[in-house]
Structure 1
Amino acid sequence: MKHEHAAIVLDFSANGIGIIRSLARKGIDVYAFDTEQPYRIGKSRLATCGICPSPLTQEKELLEFLSDFAKQFQVKPVLYAGADDYVGFISKYRKTLDEFFLFLLPSHSLLETVLDKHKAYELAIQHNIPCPKTFFPNNQDELEEAIATIEFPCILKPVTGHEFRKKVNKKAIVMKDAAQLRKEYQSYRENGKLLVQEIIPGDNDCFYKVATFYDDQMKLLGLFSLQKNHQFPADFGTGAHVVSKRIPELIQKCLPFFEAIQLKGIGMAEFKKDPRDNVYKFIEINPRFWLTHSLTEPAGVHFVYMYYLYVTGQHVEPQLEQKDGIKWIYGVRYFLTFLQKRKRGEMTFRTFWKGCKGKKEYALFAWNDPMPFIRSTWSHLKNSWKRKRKEDRHA
């Protein structure tokens, strides 16, 4: 295989670090960029790293930065995005960026739809994909209609999470009763549109994901599924401990859906299995590499490298079978989730330790690239300590 094309990775979260390391193992030259704070925590010795303008607040500057940077290469570099902010930016300016980079995304209209939870919900319903009971109130009357129908506790979520979390760093807010929802809805609404959704019962291990890589003609090149064991924060968060697991019945539901909406490139859908009726219910779609994607390589489905080969015009052998039972562990988040669950009597140290055993892939820990793990662990522990002090003061 030829590796003369460099790779540009936009993102220094564990997602971006996973892309960097996967490419570096193949001997590909990697350059990685993000805004200042993620750069300070995530910069890796396996890539040439730097700070770039924000895709949210400095679009023109970022477009100029990337265009100028790409001009130094004799052949177009491959462009990877590890966060919704960057995916949205690349899609918006795809005509200009296509002159300098190689990448594959679904249509701009589809991308805008799946990044908006209201539109994504309507898309799922249109294609007969079961969803949790969800409301999108735009005023007080519509909020009262939701309150009259939904069961409490419920959750309040931003419609466009990647933009909302720049102002309020919360993925979902639990509303214990109608009084709390009435009281807090308006203050959160000032930061963006919101949805009110039922809480599907069941622990973290009721969450499942199906990921695909379709080429430009919608030929399936990569297929992978997983089960979440623990997430961070413990109640509503992102994966902290997941395991590769083939879920045939969910795959059979997802593939026709993805093909109908033309989800080309990298895509991933998350579902939660409702123990009340044993139905998988739609949570969200990510049209990009997702946080736990580095699990796919040891499981035999090399998404990052297949993407590189495809967009550089090389032969890609489809990888549609996976190895099950391989764990992905985000060490510090798994530990903090364990502390929270142990305090509530939901997890023992024996269970935690058992989760660390067996074949696994770490989100950040690597002997040949230790600093992202060290800096992220310190940042998480420091922030956890600050939250604990704040809670103690309020108590």
Structure 2
Amino acid sequence: MNHKAVILGNNYYIGLSTIRSLGAEGVHTVAVDYSEEDRYGAASKYCSESLLVPHYKTDTEGFINALIDYAKKQADKPVLIPCHDTYLEVIDAHLNKIKEYYLIPQTEQGLATRVMNKDTLHALATEHGVRVPETVRIHEPNFHDRVENEIKYPCLVKPFDSPSFVATFRKKIFKVHNREELDEALAMAKDADLEVFVQRIIPGFDDHMYTFDAYLNQESKITHWTTCQKLRQYPINFGASVYTIQKFTPELFDIGSKFLEGIGYKGFAEIEFKKDEETGEFYLIEINARITNFNHLLYKVGLNFPYITYREMIGAPLEPKSVTETTNRAFWYGYEDALAVKDYIKSGQLKTSEVVKSLFRPKAYAIWSISDPKPAVAFMKTRLGKLFGGRKKARR
């Protein structure tokens, strides 16, 4: 296998998991970042090569040119795998140019951005008959009345562009309980020049969050898939997965496969659903158009999505496979799960006994690996440095 795999974004465990998933199969992996800071993924023994490039936002042209210059030096086209939404947005915006030099599953420029953007995703889902939570846009007539009577409080103020919102506010949404809080949230979004909308909260605890994880080939047909259930998130209720189990939920295949194939999607995608605890109906919440947070869990249950992507891109696709039984294996990001558990218990949403009971499962860890410990050591050094560095500053 002479094609290298270029992984964008290794200062988070998605990049680390991708490097491990590919390196374990003998693929030459290249960790690409804009800074040495916190890039613990590049510390993996499965990282074959490390590269620094200009920042994808502050010097987008330099970033794209650096990627192209690297690819030009290779004997065979590398496979490009973005592991963060912001990288994916930039690659998607320049897809027609960059795909001349890299192997990339998605061939339609703009489609990845359309499924990441909440407004265009809402329209696509509605067009294809997929349920989405009721929504009111801020410029619609009788906005406040509709929020109060149709959406009802509490409700969510959500961004169209999630990566920019998270980068600004360090959270995915604003939860508001009355008109005063709503207007305050809207003002904050306006000041940050971010477009938002208001959405109904689908009733149900965090364990009502499910995912459909799938790979679609170049004919936009699903070849590999499974389903999972989130148990805990951080920040709690509206955050990223920190404890998730693989659980077979056949209804999600029926909904998710029809939708992804219907829009002509290619490559890996993860659809997040929430199950309404009152009606049992599934609502599409969002789509991750890049490798997911709990990629290592999927790897452990037999679906190596980075390698599935790599093999199809080099013209040697793997045999189709689906995991249609419940393995009960769990993904665990212990560092943030500890923070989440503290908040769940403090808010009365979980009991300590429930948390302890949930942990008795075979696990796929976000960072720790006994056979590849250096990334975990690098991660802890950084966290301890920030912790004690912050305390020193406070004492001064």
TM-score, length-scaled by structure 1: 0.90
Q: Distance in 1 between matches of 2:179 and 2:388?
A: 31
1:161-200 matches, cutoff 5 A: 161-191=162-192, 192-200=194-202
Aligned-residue offset at 1:54: 2.5
Instruction: Count residues in correspondence.
Output: 386
Contact 2:53 2:66 survives alignment (8 Å): yes
Q: Distance in 2 between matches of 1:274 and 1:381?
A: 40
Partner of 2:7 in structure 1? 9
* CA distances 1:256-303 after superposition (whole Å, capped 9, x unpaired): 111111111111111100012110011011222111122112112221
SS of 2:241's partner is strand
Contact 2:222 2:261 survives alignment (8 Å): no
Q: Distance in 2 between matches of 1:49 and 1:135?
A: 46
Q: Distance in 2 between matches of 1:340 and 1:376?
A: 23
1:241-320 matches, cutoff 5 A: 241-320=243-322
* CA distances 1:75-119 after superposition (whole Å, capped 9, x unpaired): 111111111212222222223222221111152232232121011
Question: Paired residue for 1:356, among 327, 350, 359?
Answer: 359
Question: Paired residue for 1:368, among 324, 349, 371?
Answer: 371
Name the CA shift for 1:385/1:325 in 2 (closer, same or farther; >3 Å): farther
1:118-267 matches, cutoff 5 A: 118-138=119-139, 142-143=143-144, 145-191=146-192, 192-267=194-269
1:3-82 matches, cutoff 5 A: 3-12=1-10, 13-36=12-35, 39-45=38-44, 46-47=46-47, 48-82=49-83
The one-letter code sitting in structure 2 at the alignment partner of 1:314 is A
Q: Distance in 2 between matches of 1:322 and 1:381?
A: 41
Aligned-residue offset at 1:146: 2.8
Name the CA shift for 1:169/1:140 in 2 (closer, same or farther; >3 Å): farther
Q: Distance in 2 between matches of 1:212 and 1:226?
A: 11
Q: Distance in 2 between matches of 1:236 and 1:384?
A: 25
The one-letter code sitting in structure 1 at the alignment partner of 2:81 is Y
Partner of 2:333 in structure 1? 330
* CA distances 1:305-342 after superposition (whole Å, capped 9, x unpaired): 11111100114200123552111111111111111112
Q: Distance in 2 between matches of 1:211 and 1:295?
A: 11
Name the CA shift for 1:294/1:139 in 2 (closer, same or farther; >3 Å): same
Contact 2:33 2:39 survives alignment (8 Å): no
Contact 1:332 1:377 survives alignment (8 Å): no
SS of 1:23's partner is helix
Name the CA shift for 1:385/1:337 in 2 (closer, same or farther; >3 Å): farther
CA RMSD of aligned residues (A): 2.5
Contact 2:135 2:198 survives alignment (8 Å): yes
| Between 94-103 and 8-17, the greater mean CA deviation after superposition | 94-103
Q: Distance in 2 between matches of 1:138 and 1:96?
A: 36
The one-letter code sitting in structure 1 at the alignment partner of 2:332 is I
Contact 2:79 2:102 survives alignment (8 Å): yes
Aligned-residue offset at 1:376: 4.2
The one-letter code sitting in structure 1 at the alignment partner of 2:346 is K
Q: Distance in 2 between matches of 1:53 and 1:138?
A: 38
* CA distances 1:25-57 after superposition (whole Å, capped 9, x unpaired): 112111112232764454323313343322233
Q: Distance in 1 between matches of 2:153 and 2:255?
A: 29
Partner of 2:393 in structure 1? none
Q: Distance in 2 between matches of 1:27 and 1:79?
A: 16
| Between 200-209 and 88-97, the greater mean CA deviation after superposition | 88-97
Any stretches of 5+ residues in structure 2 without a counterpart? 391-396
Name the CA shift for 1:347/1:306 in 2 (closer, same or farther; >3 Å): same
Percent of pairs with identical residues: 26
Q: Distance in 2 between matches of 1:121 and 1:170?
A: 21
Name the CA shift for 1:300/1:22 in 2 (closer, same or farther; >3 Å): same
